[in-house]
Amino acid sequence: MSDPIVSRLSELGKGAPELCDAAAIYGALIPVLREAELGALPLSMTPDEVRLKISHGRPVLADIELALDTQAVSGLLVKLALSLEKSARKSDRLPVEAGRIRLAVEGGLLDVAALLAHTAAGERGPIDSMAHDLKLDPALVLLLARNSLKPALRAWHRQLTAMTGEISWDRGDCPICGAVATLAEFQGNNQARRLRCGQCGADWQFSRMKCIYCGNDDHRTLGFLYPEGRHNSVRVEVCEVCHGYLKVITAFSPNSPEMLPVEDLATLHLDYIALEHGYSRHNNSQICRK
Ligand SMILES: [Zn+2]
Ligand SMILES: [Zn+2]
């Protein structure tokens, strides 16, 4: 039986040459991630502690010592790097850069525990300087670190969701891991608008007419962009106050956490439209925490 994610990726690669590289990278990472040993220990929090933290507007995983088996996650990072080394075209810089990162981890030069802590906390600066010191590609270090944390983040998301059920969280960053929402889905027959986190897979309700970044809810300064042909199933929501944008897709049933990065890639044309019109995807530091 063919794997739906791998076939979606190869379809993408065929249909849009500009997506070939990104699709090849995810095509190499996803099978490794699926087989990953989790390296995540269950969080020792009670449902009441989780609800209390959420009610104070703090993502559940913020400011806690992550119960992470650093060695297992480090092993996963090495496997992911190796998979990129093997899969990428020989003419690319990518296999060489991935190989250099793998050697830095295996040789103990790259402090993986610190790298993972900065990655989980969304701190880009220290990661860039760690990469710079070792002459590694910072964007690739971040990509590998983020992906090697995903199985643990997803396991914690499952644990927390089973514990608390639906939670009330009217913000644009993830209630579990604090990453900015990757996209929104109109789900099911009633087309409920839900935000999705591409890091841990979280799925939460968010006001239909409100900017996920600055909280602006004035309809006069919120708008939509549609791809040519005006497909109603996808659109970009934009905010004139902070110039941020959010991609919205229709999903009859919620996409699996694994599928979210693939859908994010598949809608890259929407990113182009938004960027062309002067909007951008903001990061955590630009989110209003009111
Ligand atoms: Zn998350
Ligand atoms: Zn805004």
Residue pLDDT, tens place only, 137-159: 998 999 899 888 888 898 889 98
pLDDT at residue 277 in the model: 93
Beta strands in 190-280 (DSSP E): 192-196, 203-205, 222-225, 234-239, 245-251
- Ligand 2 centroid vs 222 CA: distance in angstroms? 8
* pLDDT, mean over the chain: 85
Quote the CA–CA distance of 265 and 9 in Å, as a whole number. Answer: 9
- Ligand 1 centroid vs 77 CA: distance in angstroms? 19
Domain ranges of the chain: 36-164, 183-286
pLDDT at residue 1 in the model: 46
pLDDT at residue 18 in the model: 64
- Ligand 1 centroid vs 173 CA: distance in angstroms? 8
pLDDT at residue 138 in the model: 92
Say which ligand is closest to the CA of 156. Answer: 1
R_g over Cα of the chain: 19
- Ligand 1 centroid vs 181 CA: distance in angstroms? 8
Q: Highest mean pLDDT range out of 35-44, 97-106, 146-155?
A: 97-106
Of 16-30, 37-51, 95-109, 165-179, the range with the lowest mean pLDDT is 16-30
Distances in Å between the alpha carbon of 228 and those of 235, 239, 265, 273, 280?
10, 20, 18, 10, 20
Residue 126: partners with Cβ closer than 8 Å, 6 or more residues away: 114, 118
Q: What are phi and psi of 277, to 5 degrees?
A: -90, 5
Nearest CA-CA partner of 74 in 147, 3, 135, 19: 147
Torsional sign, CA 106, 109, 115, 117 = positive
Of 2-6, 66-70, 107-111, 233-237, the range with the lowest mean pLDDT is 2-6
- Ligand 2 centroid vs 147 CA: distance in angstroms? 28
Mean pLDDT of 170-188: 91
Look at 7 and 284; give whichever has higher pLDDT. Answer: 7
Mean pLDDT of 281-285: 74
pLDDT band for 228, please (50, 70, 90 cuts). Answer: confident
Say which ligand is closest to the CA of 178. Answer: 1
Say which ligand is closest to the CA of 246. Answer: 2
Quote the CA–CA distance of 79 and 37 in Å, as a whole number. Answer: 11
pLDDT at residue 58 in the model: 87
- Ligand 1 centroid vs 257 CA: distance in angstroms? 10
- Ligand 2 centroid vs 214 CA: distance in angstroms? 4
User: Which runs of consecutive H residues, i.e. helices, occur in the chain?
Assistant: 4-15, 20-34, 47-55, 70-87, 94-106, 112-120, 124-133, 138-164, 260-266, 268-276
Look at 92 and 211; give whichever has higher pLDDT. Answer: 211
pLDDT at residue 65 in the model: 77
- Ligand 1 centroid vs 96 CA: distance in angstroms? 31
Tokens of 159: 């644990």
- Ligand 2 centroid vs 250 CA: distance in angstroms? 22
Distances in Å between the alpha carbon of 264 and those of 182, 240, 258, 273?
7, 23, 11, 14
- Ligand 1 centroid vs 170 CA: distance in angstroms? 14
- Ligand 1 centroid vs 120 CA: distance in angstroms? 10
pLDDT in tens, 108-133: 999 999 998 888 777 788 999 999 99
Mean pLDDT of 99-116: 94
Say which ligand is closest to the CA of 202. Answer: 1
Mean pLDDT of 169-196: 90
- Ligand 1 centroid vs 61 CA: distance in angstroms? 9
Q: Crossing angle for the helix pair 47-55 and 138-164, nearest 10 degrees? A: 120
Percent of the chain with pLDDT over 70: 89
pLDDT band for 240, please (50, 70, 90 cuts). Answer: very high
196: pLDDT strictly greater than 80? yes
- Ligand 2 centroid vs 118 CA: distance in angstroms? 26
Paired residues of 247 in beta bridges: 236
- Ligand 2 centroid vs 289 CA: distance in angstroms? 12
Look at 136 and 73; give whichever has higher pLDDT. Answer: 136
